[in-house]
Amino acid sequence: MAAAIREAKGLLRREIKQRLASLSSEEKKRQSDFITQKVISHPVYQQSQRISVYLSTSDEVNTEGLLEHMFANNKKCFVPQYIGPRMDMLKLHSMDDYATLPLTKWKIKQPGEGEDREDALSTGGLDLIIVPGLGFTHNGDRLGKGRGYYDKYQERCAQHPIGKPKTIALAFKEQICGSVPVTDEDVQIDFVVFGDME
């Protein structure tokens, strides 16, 4: 059973990666701008003060517009740092801070090891996590990249005194699927915000 689900996930990952590869940078920007506006007007985002947001790569919905909005509106911003199998959310202070973050070997910006930054879970927890992924259904099933970082992190959040944060996933419309193979370890997303249907 587990092997069949793993295989189905692998096939779907390949298919979605092909769909993303065929998107022009103009189309990605158009959908990213549209999605950014949808998130900014989302009541959960508006009510949240402590937000973690992924730092986008070229084949993900661009999150720079959200970062700018968060800093302009005095929201506390936390971004992922991956070290081995563990992901933490560390405080990002400004767009200048973002611009100077080092790149990992996967070409993802993240705070450098050993930097003295506030860790979201060792202070006030998080109100909202903005989640990346490869594929999603409308009702919040998620296909990640296979490392389980966000599923494990949400389990840790659930142990925090303020409890589990809300989750919003960002997706190009090409990443929306009729169904996604999931196991008990896969955490469902509360809201999936995706590109328009033009």
Return the pLDDT at 1: 67
Are 165 and 128 in contact, with CB atoms under 8 Å apart?
Answer: yes
- Alpha-carbon distance of 17 to 122, in angstroms, equals 35
The residue assigned the tokens 């490869």 is 134
Domain range list for the chain: 2-194
Name the CATH code of domain 2-194 (choices 3.30.70.270, 3.30.70.890, 2.40.37.10, 3.40.50.10420): 3.40.50.10420
How far is CA 39 from its chain centroid?
13
Residue 142 backbone dihedrals phi, psi, to 5 degrees: -130, 140
Residue 125 backbone dihedrals phi, psi, to 5 degrees: 70, -165
Residue 107 is classified by DSSP as: S
Divide the 198 residues of the chain into consecutive groups of 10 and give the mean pLDDT of each group. 88 96 96 97 98 96 98 98 94 97 90 94 96 96 92 92 94 96 90 82
| Helix locations, the chain, DSSP H | 2-21, 25-40, 43-47, 64-72, 95-99, 149-158
